[in-house]
Amino acid sequence: MLAKREHKKNLPIILEASLKQAKLDGKKKPVDAVAVTYGPGLEMCLWEGILFAQDLAKKWKVPLIPTNHMEGHVLSVFGKDKGTFKIPPPTGRQAKLKTPILSLLVSGGHTQLVLTKKWMDYEIIGETLDDAVGEAFDKVARMLDLPYPGGPQISALAEKGRIKNKLEKKQFLRSVSQADGPRGSAGLASPDSDSAKSASFLALPRPMLHSKDFNFSFSGLKTAVLYLVRDLGGIEKIDKKTKSQIALEFENAAIECLIHKTKKAVEKYGAKTLVVAGGVAANKHLRNEMKKAVGKKIKLLFPTRELSGDNSLMIGIAGYLNYIKNKKKVPKPGTIKATGNLRL
Ligand code: KG4
Ligand code: ZN
């Protein structure tokens, strides 16, 4: 109910601001069509959007295009943060994406591997059996007493831990190379042995890493963090360094699962394009590791970091491409229904 109310309050404010910014305010027919999300998501909120968009389409006498939120994420890779841009034609020689396309969709509600053999056709070949990866980031952030949304917070903390570990390793190697005598004879304790000890203590599972399918599971990983925090005496007893090491190990574990399955799917289906999209696609470690994992043979596309999370631009792009594809099949206003569990 709270979310629904926020939608109702914010939609007219955002509309006014966007039309103004695009210098389209005051026009009788500012746009050629209106795209609206009809699922997946919270139905009460989806309804707010649909009714609002319906009124606009009626007022401006333009078609209303129902759009799938997840397709929006896939097509968000065509968007730009600022200025004007061209959306490539969906098929033919000018089409930007070579098929088969594999999409890894990672958000707060979904973790899916989607195969596209024919442009704008989608087959889900794997997905999470429980929590979505973004949801796991958010829940673990809560356990570590970090504010919502947890993804960016965990990621920032993990990065600190990663840098610190690298520095410690560098310092150790320098002191070894400066010490007299054979390696280790100067009585230097390897930080590796230390971090190996703490690493094994903090080690978290990589659920379903070696399962033969393309599914994921993140609830066990989340629970493992819960037990770890409990075993360390609760979050109040955990020092800053350990907290960042937990965030680091959690991020490493979650991202490793995503990368491993994606790489396997790329190989099995001979994907020529890989799209990684959804809120978690903003994660720097995921971006870096994915680049390393798939190499240069495949075209790897991410949305800009700003367009990784939910945004209306991706719905506009998906709506536009669907309109081009199905011009004659635009549904009558009033027939669009909010569909909470809509599938690709
Ligand atoms: O796609 P999105 O904006 O909303 C849904 O459709 O769910 O995704 C939101 C999710 C949240 O769980 C948020 O914590 C996560 O994306 N997220 C991140 C990062 N930025 C956002 N997760 C990991 N690392 C990030 N940098
Ligand atoms: Zn989303």
Same domain, 286 and 207: no
Quick: pLDDT tens for 223-268: 999 999 999 999 999 999 999 999 999 999 999 999 999 999 999 9
148 Cα nearest atom in ligand 1: 14
First to last CA, the chain: 26
Look up residue 98 and give its two tokens: 């070579």
Question: Could you tell me the pLDDT band of residue 199, with boundaries at 50, 70 and 90?
Answer: low
pLDDT of residue 83: 87
Q: 102: helix, coil or strand?
A: strand
156 Cα nearest atom in ligand 1: 26
**Whole-model pTM?**
0.93
* Percent of the chain's residues with pLDDT above 90: 79
Same domain, 197 and 48: no
Same domain, 268 and 239: no
Least confident range from 84-88, 109-113, 334-338: namely 84-88
Same domain, 268 and 208: no
Tell me how many domains the chain contains.
Answer: 3
| Candidate of 137, 153, 314 to mutate for ligand 1, largest count of ligand atoms within 8 Å of Cβ | 137
Residue 19 CA to residue 196 CA, distance in Å, equals 56
Burial class (CB in 10 A: 0-12, 13-18, 19+), 193: exposed
Quick: pLDDT tens for 62-88: 999 999 999 999 999 999 999 888 888
Quick: pLDDT tens for 170-195: 888 888 887 755 544 444 445 554 44
- Find out whether 302 and 77 touch, Cβ atoms under 8 Å: yes
Kindly give the distance from the C-alpha atom of residue 68 to the centroid of ligand 2, in angstroms, as a whole number: 10
Same domain, 107 and 165: no
Same domain, 120 and 268: yes
Averaged confidence pLDDT in the chain: 92
- Averaged pLDDT, 136-163: 96
pLDDT of residue 122: 97
141 Cα nearest atom in ligand 1: 14
Residue 344 lies in a domain: no
| Candidate of 105, 107, 342 to mutate for ligand 1, largest count of ligand atoms within 8 Å of Cβ | 107
Atom 2, ligand 1: which residue's CA is nearest? 279
Residue 15 lies in a domain: yes
* Per-residue pLDDT at 324 exceeds 70: yes
Same domain, 164 and 230: yes
- Averaged pLDDT, 312-319: 96
Same domain, 63 and 114: no
187 or 315, which is more confident: 315
What is the CATH classification number for the domain harbouring 111?
Answer: 3.30.420.40
Same domain, 123 and 22: no
172 or 60, which is more confident: 60
Residues with CB under 6 A from ligand 1: 107-109, 134-135, 137-138, 149-152, 155, 278-280, 282-283, 309-310
Residue numbers of the domain that contains 154: 134-258
Burial class (CB in 10 A: 0-12, 13-18, 19+), 70: buried
Same domain, 110 and 204: no
Torsion 148-256-292-101 (CA) sign:
negative
